[in-house]
A = this chain, B = another copy of it.
């Protein structure tokens, strides 16, 4: 039977991206991690990690084992939590992962409200950008994940997890104030000559923009690559380009210098989800409930 501690080592290697990094997270030294990994590979008879150039990447077999290893760790944490619960010890820590822009609008309100209702639960928040984070929930490192999906970007599978949609957040076309197209409901194709502001390739909103443009038969020129919508908005305000920005971001942003409208044609939206393990312990559904009402307020 496999050793759970070795699986933990593998999981940390995967998350850290290097053996040295995993050692740091585990408060071990690098040789210790290297040895444990070597033993794991020896007893399975196959390579799990490709060592090379500035870090370590998992082999296909390693990815399979990572997936299961996260489940093992999750079950171990759940086992301990369950016994503590039987003893009447309420879990006093809830760790939440959220993508950055959720951390600016949705999450702060929810955290504040949750904190008032459950002052004895310590809250921890960490930045997790999609599509990461599902594994962190599976392994129990995160109790709750706030993630999103953009049109054209498939949602990750959620074996053993529960995913609930919190918010449908329309993407609005944002133009500099006084832009000739303002108020004309242009389609993306009508703005093919503009300089676009969006995330780098691989970032969800970029994938969504590219696929939407492809659907209209054009290719948009992304001149400014940033994943931070505040930066995007500042650039638009400066008149250097245009972009698609979620409505909830705009509502919280300082007005002036830009105008927003739904694009003509399809009405793209990002969707925001809460993800947690099945059979979560009590604070998690409570937090989800708070997030749900916070999301309704954002949407209303």
Q: Which residues of B contact A21 (CB under 8 A)?
A: none
Question: Could you say how many copies of this chain the assembly holds?
Answer: 2
- A227 CB within 8 Å of chain B: no
Given contacts A61-B83, A86-B64, contact A76 B46 (CB under 8 A): no
- For A, the interface residue count at a CB cutoff of 8 angstroms equals 32
- A82 CB within 8 Å of chain B: yes
Nearest to A79 among chain B residues (CB) is B68
Contact B76 A1 (CB under 8 A): yes
Q: Which residues of B contact A65 (CB under 8 A)?
A: 79, 82-83
- A193 CB within 8 Å of chain B: no
- A145 CB within 8 Å of chain B: no
- A279 CB within 8 Å of chain B: yes
Q: Which residues of B contact A4 (CB under 8 A)?
A: 3-4, 72, 76
Contact B44 A83 (CB under 8 A): yes
- A87 CB within 8 Å of chain B: yes
Nearest to A59 among chain B residues (CB) is B86
A73 to B87, CA, bound (A): 23
Contact B45 A76 (CB under 8 A): no
Q: Which residues of B contact A7 (CB under 8 A)?
A: 76, 79
A199 to B141, CA, bound (A): 48
- A163 CB within 8 Å of chain B: no
Contact B87 A61 (CB under 8 A): yes
A61 to B86, CA, bound (A): 6
Contact A60 B86 (CB under 8 A): yes
> How many whole Å from A174's CB to the nearest CB in chain B?
44
Q: List 9 A-B contacts (CB under 8 A).
A: A1-B76, A2-B79, A4-B4, A7-B79, A44-B80, A46-B87, A65-B82, A68-B79, A68-B83
* 5 tightest A-B CB contacts, nearest first: A68-B79, A4-B4, A72-B75, A61-B86, A71-B75
